[in-house]
Chain A
């Protein structure tokens, strides 16, 4: 009897202690859990819920009057030629933009990985500056560069080329925005690649040189394979950013001319602006699924042997 009573008392003591610890632990977690719950989880889940309803801006006063419509929004979306066009534009943007961004960032990183230290620090800052600059401020400059009688066309005129009206020509608006986006995102990748390059031991390059490899061969056979995890990280980061490509077309072209720079994210924005919240939510979830699938695919392909 006495024994059991003592054990019971110990158990109670332990129980109280662990309850107290759990309480303290939750206390520490609370600020994050609250912020995450209110500002992330609730909007996320309600947008998912909205995507299955016919909610529009008129229903805001009576949000409980909306009807559940199942997958109707998704069907509408997937049969909308404008949404197809937006997806295609986004796809082109990623498929063309991503390799170019990686190639340019890699070239700059390799160039900055050798040479004089002080000069490198300067150029590193210069190439990274577009990442820090506000897109709205930068777009003013880019519009000046790209307008019909702008800097670029004046430069081309020197060589006798009659440049197009970049931002108002359906064939050139997307490439023009692509160039601007690459310029803006290249810096981030360059810094990531530079860190990756510096992690490669010098002896490996020396061993390759002694083994008879020239500079290019060393780069393709030693540096690039060892950079694979870094390139994967960069590719995922940049493709997620490019799939959500929005700001540039928002400030430069408003999706035009003739929807030629209408991205998936811009489509979502437009639908939201038209007050079609259900469609907008559905579109953003489609985009979310595409981003998730693309990221998984990249991990599969690039990270295959690790």
Chain B
């Protein structure tokens, strides 16, 4: 068990001028479950592979338990890795797969058997120990890959999207199991995923990365409640945050025909480069239907309604000049529509125009020029 430190780590692939991971500074505390999340191609797997020793580090240092491992071979780092496609050895039985690392380390045979059997018990694999990976289901293979890691009792677990080859139901189930197992074993873990739900549900802390640059590190609620920039705001949370750029007039945001109040200290932070605009974000659950003459609400033309039983969602366009506007939205995967969660027992109809009021304490404001948080 050990602390992991990335100290100004940079990785530039040969033939590229742009670094895939750029000046990364990240601490993973002893026993912590840190999830590295970002869209595909953002450098999260590269980061993991650098920690594993499978990828060269161009600049900076990586420390495991205070020891500089930057130039060490993978075999000398005392880490265990779970690969996306599990990378089980097809010619070995489940037991041999799990015991391979111990065998190389020269552990006595009965000790290996004891540890493999113990891990198999934890992972419910006991009856499959003599089978080859070919004869296992996807979920079982995934557990063997986990077993191979935990048998080692390494300093650090590395997991590279270990759930992405499972079906949706099994993924949710395994997600909980992995998180529980990690807490039980208390081994420092770096977990890479592109799925923000996995990140929110599993991690002690989450690190969001985009184009090789670390955006924000924090506890799941911290990232959810106070995203540091527009990217994190849009990436974390499902359904994702409504994010739009609006003109600022007299300290108020003009949303369509309506204006809503903005906190004064946030408006004060806007600079000339922002061109009198502000990015306003709010989560679907942080807004509500308002009465028609509410002065602090904006109009929305409802184009779609979803009733999930427990929740209701309305999707709509913001009304400008009496018609529904386009092109004013950015960074939201609901087809550029504004999403609001409402009481499913009081859903408006498609085609209705409703007034929406954002909870002022839960509004996220960003400067258009820097995309950084203002409030």
* A interface with B by C-beta (< 8 Å): 201, 203-204, 206-214, 217, 221-222, 225-226, 228
Which A residues are in CB contact (< 8 Å) with B322?
A: none
A211 pairs with B101, CB closer than 8 A: yes
Cβ A207 vs Cβ B83 within 8 A: yes
Q: Which of B52, B85, B105 contacts A210 (CB 8 A)?
A: B52
Residues of B within 8 A of A217 (CB): 104
Q: Is the CB of A212 within 8 A of B83?
A: no
Are B101 and A212 interface neighbours, CB within 8 A? yes
Most buried by A among B54, B73, B79, B87: B87
Does any Cβ of A come within 8 Å of B128's Cβ?
Answer: no
| Cross-chain contact B89 with A207 (CB below 8 angstroms) | yes
Complex alpha-carbon distance, A214 and B73, angstroms: 9
Whether the pair B89, A212 counts as a contact (CB closer than 8 A) is no
Q: Is B81 an interface residue (CB 8 A)?
A: yes
Residues of A within 8 A of B220 (CB): none
Contact B100–A211 (Cβ < 8 Å): yes
Contact of A225 among B75, B91, B158 (CB under 8 A): B91
Q: Report the nearest B residue to A211, measured CB to CB.
A: B101
Q: Which residues of A contact B152 (CB under 8 A)?
A: 211
Let me know if B53 and A211 touch, CB within 8 A: no
Task: Report the 9 A-B pairs with minimum CB-CB distance, sorted nearest first.
Answer: A203-B87, A211-B101, A207-B87, A209-B74, A212-B75, A225-B91, A210-B81, A212-B104, A210-B74
Task: Give the contacting residue for A204; candidates B53, B87, B105, B148; CB below 8 A.
Answer: B87
Within 8 A of A (CB), among B7-38: none
User: B81–A207 contact, CB under 8 A?
Assistant: yes
Contact A201 B101 (CB under 8 A): no
Complex contact A209–B104 (CB within 8 A)? no
**A225–B85 alpha-carbon span in the complex (Å):** 20
Interface residues in B89-109 (C-beta closer than 8 Å to A): 89-91, 100-101, 104-105
Q: Is the CB of A212 within 8 A of B105?
A: yes
A225 to B81 CA separation, bound complex (whole angstroms): 22
With A214-B75, A222-B89, A225-B91 known to touch, is A206 a contact of B100 (CB < 8 Å)?
no
Q: State whether B87 touches A206 (Cβ < 8 A).
A: yes
Q: Closest residue to B79 on the A side, CB-wise?
A: A210
Closest A residue to B96 by CB, please name it. Answer: A221
Cα distance A113–B54 in the bound complex, in angstroms: 18
Q: B54 contacts A210, CB within 8 Å?
A: yes
Distance, CA A208 to CA B53, complexed state (A): 12
Q: Is the CB of A213 within 8 A of B104?
A: yes
Chain A: which residue is nearest B158 at the CB level? A210
Question: Chain B residues with Cβ under 8 A from A222's Cβ?
Answer: 89
Q: Does B80 contact A (CB under 8 A)?
A: yes
20 contacts between A and B (CB under 8 A): A201-B85, A203-B83, A206-B81, A206-B87, A207-B148, A209-B54, A209-B75, A210-B54, A211-B104, A211-B148, A212-B75, A212-B105, A213-B104, A214-B73, A217-B104, A221-B100, A221-B104, A222-B89, A225-B91, A226-B90
Given contacts A211-B148, A222-B89, A225-B91, whether A206 and B104 have CB atoms under 8 Å apart is: no
Shortest CB distance A223–B (Å):
11
Provide the residues of chain A in CB contact with B104, threshold 8 Å: 211-213, 217, 221
**A209-B53 contact, Cβ under 8 Å, with A214-B75, A221-B100:** yes
Q: Given A212-B75, A226-B91, is A206 in contact with B83 using a C-beta cutoff of 8 Å?
A: yes
Partner pick for A203 among B74, B85, B105, B158, CB 8 A cutoff: B85
B144 to chain A, nearest CB (A): 12
Provide the residues of chain A in CB contact with B73, threshold 8 Å: 209, 214
The docked-state distance in angstroms from the alpha carbon of A212 to that of B80 is 9
Residue in chain B with minimal CB distance to A206: B54
Which A residues are in CB contact (< 8 Å) with B74? Answer: 206, 209-210
Q: Which of B53, B79, B87, B158 contacts A201 (CB 8 A)?
A: B87
Q: Is the CB of B75 within 8 A of A210?
A: yes
Give Cα A226 to B87, complex, Å: 13
Bound-state CA distance A100–B80 (Å) is: 38
Q: How far is the CB of B233 from chain A (nearest CB, A)?
A: 35
Q: How far is the CA of A225 from the CA of B158 in the complex (A)?
A: 27
Q: Mark B60-96, 1 if CB is under 8 A from A, else 0.
A: 0000000000000111000111010101111100000
Q: Which residues of A contact B87 (CB under 8 A)?
A: 201, 203-204, 206-207
CA A286 to CA B104, docked complex, whole Å: 48
**A211: B residues at CB distance < 8 A:** 75, 80, 100-101, 104, 148, 152
Across-interface contacts of B91 in A (CB, < 8 A): 225-226, 228
Which residue from chain A places its CB closest to the CB of B100 in the assembled complex?
A: A211
Q: Are A210 and B89 in contact (CB under 8 A)?
A: no
**Nearest Cβ in chain A — how far from B357, in angstroms?**
52
Q: Give Cα A204–Cα B75 distance, bound, in whole angstroms.
A: 14
CA distance A211 to B101 in the complex (A): 5
Task: Tell me the minimal C-beta distance from B147 to chain A in angstroms.
Answer: 12
Q: How far is the CA of A206 from the CA of B160 in the complex (A)?
A: 13
Q: How far is the CA of A226 from the CA of B134 in the complex (A)?
A: 14
Residues of A within 8 A of B85 (CB): 201, 203
In the bound complex, CA of A206 to CA of B145 (Å):
13
Contacts of A214 in B (CB 8 A): 73, 75
User: Can you list, as one digit per residue, whether each of B99-125 has a CB less than 8 Å from chain A (1) or not (0)?
Assistant: 011001100000000000000000000
CA gap between A214 and B88 in the complex, in Å? 17
CB–CB B90/A210 < 8 A: no
| B 255-280 contacts with A by CB, 8 A | none
Distance A207 CA – B88 CA, assembled complex (angstroms): 8
Residues in chain B near residue A210, CB distance under 8 A: 52-54, 74-75, 79-81, 158
A70 to B47, CA, bound (A): 77
Which residues of chain B are near A203, meaning CB under 8 Å?
83, 85, 87
Identify which of residues 132-165 in chain B touch chain A, using a CB-to-CB cut-off of 8 Å.
Answer: 148, 152, 158
Closest partner residue, chain A, to B49 (CB atom): A206
Given contacts A204-B89, A211-B75, A214-B73, 15 further A-B contacts (CB under 8 A): A203-B87, A204-B87, A206-B83, A207-B81, A207-B83, A207-B89, A209-B75, A210-B54, A211-B80, A211-B100, A213-B100, A214-B75, A221-B100, A221-B104, A228-B91
